[in-house]
Structure 1
Amino acid sequence: MADELVHIAVDRGVATITLDSPHNRNALSRQLRGELRDHLTKAIDDDDVRVIVLDHTGSVFCSGMDLKEAAGTNAGAQGVTEFPQILDQIRTSPKPVVAKLAGPARAGGVGIVAAADIAVAATTATFAFTEVRIGVVPAVISVTVLPRLAPRAAHELFLTGETFDATRAVTIGLINSAVAPESLDAEVNRYTDMLILGGPVALAATKALLRTEPRDFPTMLELSAKFFASEEGQEGIAAFAQKRKPNWIP
């Protein structure tokens, strides 16, 4: 049996899913895609998990699709049809997803970063949409990436394939924070600590709200009233009044 390429560990409500295929720069091979999909499902279905962190071993977060498996006119079909499911799992997860990058992301790897709710990178990390340079199109990842990027930057970087650093990635909206490598763990923990403070049902509904277009006042008023009257909402209001933690905080 092949060694596992993706691992999951749960600690105090945080599920850390780690890409562990450094020999091919954590490329999205068939095995890695399958294990990533399975571990995402496990984390989403686990009531004890409140936040999901996507981590990696080795010097590269994810180099994109495994091009060794994409040789031949039909060889890439499975990845092309399967990878959107992974991006959608991340994007629509009812639990917040944080991407943690100690190293570069390329192509499909950048798609994963964009699908996450929050992305934190070391200042040494770099990014690139390399698809056009090998004669393919960044079509699938455009679904998660384009809503993040400033339009001018999207045109420039999709068309040129130029490599850019984490500081620019913050400026154009791809990631939330770029910190010194030695501060990466602390910055990710800062975000996960804040996310755990939110009510789990409210967080899931807020994620859905962020994907809703268009929004209108009658619908939003109905949603707001529903949560004010909900069990979770009433617990949060009572906890605030009584100066205690709500019951969803570990």
Structure 2
Amino acid sequence: MTLVPAAHERGITTLTLDSPANRNALSARLVGELADALSACAKDPSVRAVQLTHTGGTFCAGADLKTPPDPAALVALLRGIVGLPKPVVARVTGHVRAGGLGLLGACDISAAGPGASFAFTESRLGLAPAVISMPLLPRMDPRAAARYYLTGERFDAAEAARTGLITIGSDDDVDQALAPVLDGLRRASPQGLAESKRLVTATVLAAFDRDTDTLVERSASLFASREAAEGVTAFLERRDPAWVL
């Protein structure tokens, strides 16, 4: 049974992260299936745009700490979203943590409702938001990125929109907020969308071209470190890691 079912309506293909047992965490399998689904959308002329959403109360909990994806595979997924010749729109009605924020950064447009919350939790695990920085830092307010990268604080949809992490922070129904966006995409030509997307993603793709090797190596090194082992173990055991004061 697929972890990323697809549905199509009037030019919009909706891909749903459907692994609620682990809060849609980025396991090797989910990353692979999502990458394959996006590749299929890129080749399908009936797809004008992609909407990425989720089941359950969590959009994505970040990397699956029990079966994490290879950092290179995660980078390929994020770059694939940015480089897809069709817009990708994220629809968020739940929580987003760590690597899940990288998915939002890679999407062209994202909207979150009042039930959404966000947090860069990596620093609390002895890690850092290394590879996900490539789609995020070119788009986020630098001061906000510094604060939330370092502290791991949780913040809401309004703050996520203010900082540039997402496009729309809605106090009401997220589908109502996205309706004019999807209508606009349906009215645009395939060529117009592809060429316009090339313009707005150029700096993000440049970050991937410049930093991928360095950040993949850094991510792998951090995951293999003693501090990360303690942080992940403490998280799984639901206790504070040894360094908490």
- Report the TM-score when normalising by structure 1: 0.79
The aligned counterpart of 1:46 is 44
Answer with 1 or 2: which has the greater Rg: 1
Q: Does 1:204 align with 2:202?
A: no
Query: In the aligned structure 1, how far is the partner of 2:76 from the partner of 2:148?
Result: 25
1:99 aligns with 2:90: yes
Report the residue type matching 1:212 in the other structure.
Answer: A
In structure 2, runs of 5+ residues without a counterpart are 204-245
2:158 to 167, 172, 177: 167
2:79·2:106 contact (CA, 8 Å) conserved in 1?
yes
Q: Could you give the per-residue CA deviations for residues 8-33 of structure 1, whole angstroms, max 9, x where no partner exists?
A: 11111000000000111000111111
Query: In structure 1, what is the Cα distance between the partners aligned to 2:38 and 2:201?
Result: 20
Question: With CA pairs under 8 Å and 6+ residues apart, which has the higher RCO, 1 or 2?
Answer: 2
Q: Which residue of 1 aligns with 2:8?
A: 10
Structure 1 consecutive aligned stretches of length 4 or more whose deviation exceeds 3 Å: none
Does 1:194 find its partner at 2:184?
yes
Q: For 2:149, which of 158, 163, 178 is the aligned residue?
A: 158
Match of 1:185 among 172, 175, 180: 175
Q: Is the deviation greater in 190-199 or in 110-119?
A: 190-199
SS in 2 for 1:212: helix
Kindly indicate whether the alpha-carbon contact (under 8 Å) linking 2:4 and 2:30 is maintained by their aligned counterparts in 1: yes
CA distance, structure 2, for counterparts of residue 127 and residue 66 of structure 1: 17
Separation of aligned partners in 1, 2:88 and 2:190:
13
Q: Counterparts in 2 of 1:140-159, with a 5 A limit?
A: 140-159=131-150
Matched ranges for 1:1-250 at <5 A: 3-70=1-68, 78-180=69-171, 183-212=173-202
CA shift, 1:193, in A, is 0.7
Unaligned runs of 5+ in 1: 71-77, 214-250
Q: CA deviation at 1:211?
A: 2.9
Q: Which amino acid aligns with 1:153?
A: A
Contact 1:17 1:52 in 2 (8 A): yes
- Supply the AA of the counterpart residue of 2:22: N
> Take 2:193 and 2:55, find their aligned partners in 1: how far apart are those partners?
29
Alpha carbons 1:65, 1:79 under 8 Å: kept: no
Residue 95 of structure 1: how far off its partner (Å): 0.6
2:115 alignment partner, SS class:
coil
Mapped to 1, the partners of 2:161 and 2:39 lie a distance apart of: 29
Q: What is residue 244 of structure 1 aligned with on the other side?
A: none
Structure 1 letter corresponding to 2:51: V
Q: Which AA in structure 1 matches 2:182?
A: T
Q: Distance in 1 between matches of 2:104 and 2:139?
A: 10
CA contact under 8 A between 1:15 and 1:51: conserved in structure 2?
yes
* CA distance in structure 2 between the aligned counterparts of 1:196 and 1:95, rounded to whole angstroms: 11
Q: What percent identity do the matched residue pairs reach?
A: 46
Structure 2 contact 82–201 (Cα < 8 Å) conserved? no
SS in 1 for 2:24: coil
SS in 1 for 2:47: coil
1:211 match: secondary structure: helix
Which residue identity lines up with residue 105 of structure 1 in the other structure? V
How many residues are matched?
203
Amino acid at match of 1:141: I
